[in-house]
Copies of this chain bind each other. A is one copy, B any other.
Amino acid sequence: MPEDTIEAPAIEGFAAALVRQVRAQDTHGHWETKSDGYLLTPYILDKEARRAIPIIGDPDPDTLWRLELFYGALCLEIERRTKRMVQPMMKMSHEGFGRMVLIAGRLVVVNKSLRDVHRFGFDSLEKLNSEAEKLITQASDMIGKFPEVADY
């Protein structure tokens, strides 16, 4: 058994959808032998690991890539559940500050200020899933409240 699959826990919920998005980027098949848990490793940062990352200058391109994949997977999951097309738009202003919006029709279904993007990550897989579920619920609620704007 290769080392990187030894501790692989069952990947469930939104995390499984995120893994599918990560794998969709793997056009050369480099990650075919990697476990789902291994691919999610960079998303899991405990407090200490987070604090160890300096927040000086602009965030690492890999971190931005992970952030965009996370919100891209969120859009697909919101789409799957609400049957509305959802598009992400990100604005990074400077030094890890920015804004992410997910848009359905003319409705901003998720509006998120980003800060310390250098340290983007979650305490645990459970935290990643619960944070994602919170945002998906927010999005569904907004669409439920303003369907005519989402369908505009």
A35 to chain B, nearest CB (A): 32
A108 interface contact, C-beta 8 A = yes
9-residue interface stretch from A12-20, A24-32, A49-57, A99-107: A99-107
CB distance from A13 to the nearest CB of B (A): 26
Q: Mark A89-119, 1 if CB is under 8 A from B, else 0.
A: 1110000000101010111110100000000
CB distance from A91 to the nearest CB of B (A): 5
B101, A89: Cβ atoms closer than 8 Å: yes
Q: Which residue of B lies closest to A91 (CB)?
A: B89
A-B contact pairs, 7 of them (CB 8 A): A89-B91, A89-B101, A105-B108, A106-B109, A106-B142, A106-B146, A107-B108
